[in-house]
Amino acid sequence: MNKILGGTGSLMSQYIAEMRDEKIQSDSLRFRRNMERVGEIFAYEISKVLRWEKKDIITSLGVATGDVLAEQPVIATILRAGLPLHMGLLNAFDKAQNGFVSAYRKHRKDGRFDIKVEYVSCPSLQDKVLIISDPMLATGASMVLSVKALLSRGIPLHIHIVSILASNQGVDYVRKNMPTEDYTLWLGAVDDELTAKAYIVPGLGDAGDLAFGSKL
């Protein structure tokens, strides 16, 4: 199932527009903060489909009945670009455990590249809800490989995949190659084009570089 939250005249649309704007992108602090805000919106929307339970809350004047999460999700991200988006999710799910996947593009001499997963740090996912984020879903290969790596930590009840921008090609790849059917794809916007170097067009550029500076 795909859920696209942008393009509806919401704050999500405003933050994505600012992240795309090359004039605003020069302010890396603002770029990171907008990623974080988007993460908070995603978290709010995802929270609506999680399991809740009633709990009696003792106040200074009596007892109130409130809704609380029945269990906390595990929040994971793909380093390094996903960190601000991850922080936004964690701001909302502040009691969640966390997981991290180090995945990168290993470029070949012919201009193509392979996706390599180097490192996984994650608690048990057995029978838990997993929320995994990466700001850009370009080819979709990094996300699929990262999910496969995380499944070595147990089989989640459900997986929520969060990306700010995706390409149609990336969405199709995830749909065809995800190792489980128990997932929901949460997206800010979907763009039509993907360049030969696997950059989304119009996209916004390299999210990791815009957030943290250019890499070697």
pLDDT one-digit tens code per residue, 44-74: 999 999 999 999 999 999 999 999 999 999 9
Interval 190-206 mean pLDDT: 90
Region for residue 191 given its phi and psi (left: phi exceeds 0; alpha: psi -120 to 50; beta: otherwise): beta
pLDDT of 119 > 90? The answer is no
> What domains can be seen in the chain, in order of their start residue?
2-50+69-210 (3.40.50.2020)
pLDDT one-digit tens code per residue, 134-192: 999 999 999 999 999 999 999 999 999 999 999 999 999 999 999 999 999 999 999 99
Q: Report the pLDDT value the prediction gives residue 67, as an integer from 0 to 100.
A: 96
Query: Among 7-11, 66-70, 110-114, 149-153, which stretch is predicted with the lowest mean pLDDT?
Result: 110-114
Q: Report the pLDDT value the prediction gives residue 107, as an integer from 0 to 100.
A: 58
pLDDT one-digit tens code per residue, 73-98: 999 999 888 999 999 999 999 999 99
- Residue 7: CB atoms within 10 A of its CB come to 12
CA dist., res. 76 & res. 149, Å (int): 12
Residue 108's pLDDT band (cuts 50, 70, 90): low
Maximum separation of any 2 CA atoms in the chain, in Å: 71
Q: How far is CA 180 from the centre of its chain?
A: 17
Residue 110's pLDDT band (cuts 50, 70, 90): low
Q: Is 215 helix (H, G, I), strand (E, B) or coil?
A: coil
Beta-carbon contacts of 131 under 8 Å, excluding residues fewer than 6 positions away, are: 43, 46, 73, 74, 75, 76, 89, 93, 96, 159, 160, 162
Residue 166 · residue 6 · CB < 8 Å: no
Q: Report the pLDDT value the prediction gives residue 164, as an integer from 0 to 100.
A: 97
Residue 197's pLDDT band (cuts 50, 70, 90): confident
Residue 112's pLDDT band (cuts 50, 70, 90): low
Q: Report the pLDDT value the prediction gives residue 6, as an integer from 0 to 100.
A: 86
